[in-house]
Amino acid sequence: MGLSDDNLSEISDYIGYLLNIGYSEMVLPVRQDAEVSNSLSPLSSIRQEIGDCRRCPLSEGRTNLVFGEGAATARLMFVGEGPGADEDREGRPFVGRAGQLLTRMIKAMGLERSEVYIANIVKCRPPGNRDPEQFEIEKCLPFLQAQIEAICPEVIVGLGRVAVSSLLGRKVSMTRIRGNIQYFNGIPLMPTYHPAFLLRKEHDRKWKADAWEDLKKVMAMLDLHTDGHGDST
């Protein structure tokens, strides 16, 4: 609330009056309403809401919950499937071999990893790296949705079949859908191959070249420019 000159002169008159009648000090009340005391960022509030999650059985086998990481105002967000062994150990997304490839892909786009946001469909490691079950996805997805709302990225890259199917709410074929913009709650979603899949297909350049084409479309959407040699990741 702003104060006008009239307000200020009334306050000054009132303080003069109080001094005249013998007051020498004044104790002002401290505001304690929600607006002032709840200073958690939206992402920290979501993390707090998740707490020591026991909403599904994936929690039983986890070492660390993998919330996601990156810039809170990222223009670009990557969504994978779920933590693997390395991510479970470190509590951070995409830090294993697939993560190293993802980091190279991000750099090839002319970005730093810290400039984007990286998260997964499920936040706890499925045992033996199996696909997450539908009910596990359903328990976890509202939190990812809240993260996406908080970050409000301009584009989401969906990494692999599980991520893209979960975000779209229907089963998809990656070879058919990749490279074709979809929408998640109004935000453009680019489906592309999962880096772990690209590592399994390393003997054939075609797959990485396709993924690079998809990322180049994302770069055009974000008006990013590089030397164009990203497919050498």
Binding site for ligand URA (CB under 6 A): 80-84, 87, 93-94, 96, 98-99, 120, 196
Smallest distance from the beta carbon of 220 to ligand URA, in angstroms? 25
Residue number, nearest CB to ligand URA: 80
Angle in degrees, CA 99, 167, 119, rounded to 5: 30
Q: What are phi and psi of 177, to 5 degrees?
A: -90, -25
Residues ≥6 apart with Cβ < 8 Å to 102: 78, 80, 94, 118, 159, 195
Beta bridge partners of 119: 79
Q: Nearer to ligand URA by C-beta: 3 or 177? A: 177
Residues ≥6 apart with Cβ < 8 Å to 31: none
Q: Nearer to ligand URA by C-beta: 13 or 202? A: 202
| Rounded Cα–Cα distance for residues 38 and 93 (Å) | 28
Smallest distance from the beta carbon of 223 to ligand URA, in angstroms? 28
Q: Nearer to ligand URA by C-beta: 99 or 230? A: 99
Smallest distance from the beta carbon of 92 to ligand URA, in angstroms? 8
Smallest distance from the beta carbon of 90 to ligand URA, in angstroms? 10
Q: Nearer to ligand URA by C-beta: 92 or 224? A: 92
